[in-house]
Amino acid sequence: MPLLAALVPALKRSEKVVLPLSVLSAAVVFSLVVIATIDVLTLGGVVAIPHWIELDGFGALLELLISFVGMTAALYSWGDLGFGRGTPGQVRGYAANFNLFVMSMLAIPLTVEPGLAWIAVGLTTLFSVLLVSYENTHDALEAAWKYATLTLVGSAVAVLGFLVLFWAMRTAGGDDFTWRGLAAIASHLPPALVTVAFAFILIGLGTKTGLVPLHTWLPDAHSQAPSPVCALLSGVETSTALYVILRLVPVFRSANTLHVNAWLLIVGFISLGTAAFLLLQAQDYKRLFAFSTVEHMGIVLVAVGMGTALASYGAAWQLATHALAKSLCFYASGAALAAFGTRMIANTGDLVGRSRIAAVALFIGVLAIAGAPPFAVFLSEFAIARAAFTASQSFVGLMLIFFIGIAFFGLFGRAIRVIFGPPPAAVHSADQAHSVNVPMVTAIVIAMVPVVLFGVWIPEPLARLFELSSRALQ
């Protein structure tokens, strides 16, 4: 565990230095997380400071995802912004914010104290706002402003939720304000207070997760930011906010009179359904993937809302496959953006003829994120649907398959247009300065490995992590 504590300085150190060092630092952090995960698997959990900094299976899963995407994103950033493409000041600012952003995300699963988790979630917003506005264009600034105000408003709503939860704990005579301590006394918490806490926390953090109808900032921020930042925002940042909600689900569930599962199903289906139909009419391929994030957050909530162990297992699995596939999608769209110089689907086409690697990456990415076999997301979505039918929640299962099907057509149809469609009439001059280079290709290839690999084979330790996560959700 001391190794995990070393995470923070490891990231701090790279703060002032340039992009290659961020890559190195991210790789070191990833190896540390792998070591810590092995510790978690053998010891069942690691404790640094009891009641404050602890890591269990569910947390370790998130840490693995964040550090993996953090690593590929650092690599891609190096290719995207290094090599004299930004002014020194810009690059320094980017690197500092990038590492602080990754650090704040890594801090969330490490803490078992809801208040600290709330601070960490707030920090992820603050450190990523200037990454979203990096390009300083009208659109990027507008996206950053919406992102900042909406998620910070959400954060202020959530803190009152946590405060009311603390009050509820005191009323029930509790003394241990941690996920575990709260779950232990959950059935004694006064229902009125728990209901308000649940509503405030779901609304507050749901804003950050991108749950419909609080998602309006998400497609803007997740499409205007530089591609590696999109990968982090979409792939893992939304998941970390969702993680905090999910951590409290067992608490809310055992408190009386609150139909948490039903609420999660409703909220999940609203997000999933809305996103599925929005996917059909997206005009911009980066927004396409942003809506797909809303869709996937909905799927995870639905899975958790089913309430069975099998479904929770699927939810944890889905969080993992989404993070891996979504980061690949954004690297691929970054490469496509480099080839076309535009994000509008109508002005693109024949990506194969322009950039082979971008076409391959986008093709695999889209198939994977849309849930086609033999990729990782297919298996996790299949597991969730199967869990629904096993628990005789066939209606939920059918709805799930219906919306995922619609989303599939939306994503696949649009991407086919980009990859194989007729070449654009008005040819944008492909920005030579932003052609795909070695670090970018390496990032794409590394990101592709788990997406393909986990579609055919799940390593034993990973399956153990899903199982531990599923237990944390019960």
Partner 1 sequence: MTHPLVLPTALQLQLNELIIGLFLLTGFGMTVARQIQATLFGFIAQSLLLAASAFVLGVHPVSPHLLALAAVTLVSKPILIPFVLQRLVPREVYSKRELTQRVSITTSLMIALALAVAAYFFALPLLRSGAPLVSVGNVAIGFAGLFVGLYQVAARNEAVAQLLGILAMENGAFLAAIAIAPDFPLIAELAIAFDVPLLALIVGLLTRALHEYVGSTDVGTLVSLREDAGH
> From the list 36, 62, 95, 168, which residue makes contact with partner 1 (rule: CB under 8 A)?
168
How far is 274 from 255, CA to CA, in rounded Å? Answer: 30
Instruction: Between 162 and 378, name the residue whose CB sits nearer to partner 1.
Output: 162
257 binds partner 1 (CB under 8 A): no
Q: Is 157 in the site for partner 1 (CB under 8 A)?
A: yes
Structure tokens at 83: 């090599």
Q: How far is the CB of 150 from partner 1 (least distance, A)?
A: 9
324 closest CA partner among 411, 452, 160, 427? 452
Stretch that binds partner 1, among 12-20, 279-287, 394-402, 424-432 (CB under 8 A): 279-287
Which listed residue (190, 213, 373, 459) binds partner 1 by CB under 8 A?
Answer: 190
Instruction: Tell me the CA distances in angstroms from 32 to 25, 47, 175, one per residue in order.
Output: 10, 15, 33
Two structure tokens written together for 370: 């849309």
Query: Nearest to residue 370, comparing CAs of 413, 333, 331, 399?
Result: 413
Cα 183 from chain centroid (whole Å): 25
Which listed residue (26, 36, 164, 366) binds partner 1 by CB under 8 A? Answer: 164
Candidate residues 193, 328, 388, 451; the one interacting with partner 1 per rule CB under 8 A: 193
Least distance in Å: CB of 157 to partner 1?
7
- Please return the burial class of 433, using the count of CB atoms within 10 Å of its CB with bins 0-12, 13-18 and 19+: exposed
384, amino acid identity: I
* Per CB under 8 A, 382 contacts partner 1: no
- Check residue 141 for interaction with partner 1 (CB under 8 A): yes
Instruction: Check binding of 191 to partner 1 (CB under 8 A).
Output: yes
452 near partner 1, rule: CB under 8 A: no
Query: x/- binding map, residues 396-435, to partner 1, per CB under 8 A?
Result: ----------------------------------------
Q: Which is nearer to partner 1, 143 or 444 (CB)?
A: 143
- The answer to whether 312 and 61 have CB atoms below 8 angstroms apart is no
CB 16 within 8 A of CB 96: yes
Closest to partner 1 by CB, 31 or 171: 171
373: cis peptide before it, omega within 30°? no
Rounded Cα–Cα distance for residues 255 and 312 (Å): 19
Contact indicator for 158, 148 with CB cutoff of 8 Å: no
Asked if residues 301 and 267 have their Cβ atoms less than 8 Å apart, the reply is yes
CB of 188 to partner 1, least distance (A): 12
Q: How far apart are CA 173 and CA 168, in angstroms?
A: 9
Is residue 118 near partner 1 by the rule CB under 8 A?
Answer: yes
Binding status of residue 96 toward partner 1 by CB under 8 A: no
- Contact between 184 and partner 1 (CB under 8 A)? no
Write the CB contacts of 230 (distance below 8 Å, at least 6 apart in sequence): 222, 223, 286, 289, 290, 330, 333, 334
Please tell me the count of residues contacting partner 1 according to CB under 8 A: 54
Of 222-251, binders to partner 1 (CB under 8 A) are: 224
Whole-angstrom distance, CA of residue 371 vs CA of residue 405: 9
With binding defined as CB under 8 A, does residue 152 bind partner 1? yes
Nearer to partner 1, 116 or 310 (CB): 116
**Interface with partner 1, residue 349, by CB under 8 A:** no
Cα(455)–Cα(368) distance, integer angstroms = 9
| Burial of 296 per CB tally in 10 Å (0-12, 13-18, 19+) | buried
Q: Which listed residue (84, 87, 88, 138) binds partner 1 by CB under 8 A? A: 138
- 8-state DSSP, 346: G
Instruction: Output 4 or 189, the one with its CB closest to partner 1.
Output: 189
Q: Name the residue among 360, 365, 368, 366 with its Cα closest to residue 436.
A: 360
Minimum distance of partner 1 from residue 344's CB (angstroms): 7
For partner 1, the binding residues in 299-328 under the rule CB under 8 A are none
Q: Give contact residues for partner 1 (rule: CB under 8 A).
A: 113, 115-116, 118-119, 122-123, 126-127, 129-130, 133, 136-139, 141-146, 148-149, 152-153, 156-157, 159-160, 163-164, 166-168, 170-171, 173, 177, 190-193, 196, 219-220, 224, 278, 281-283, 287, 344, 346
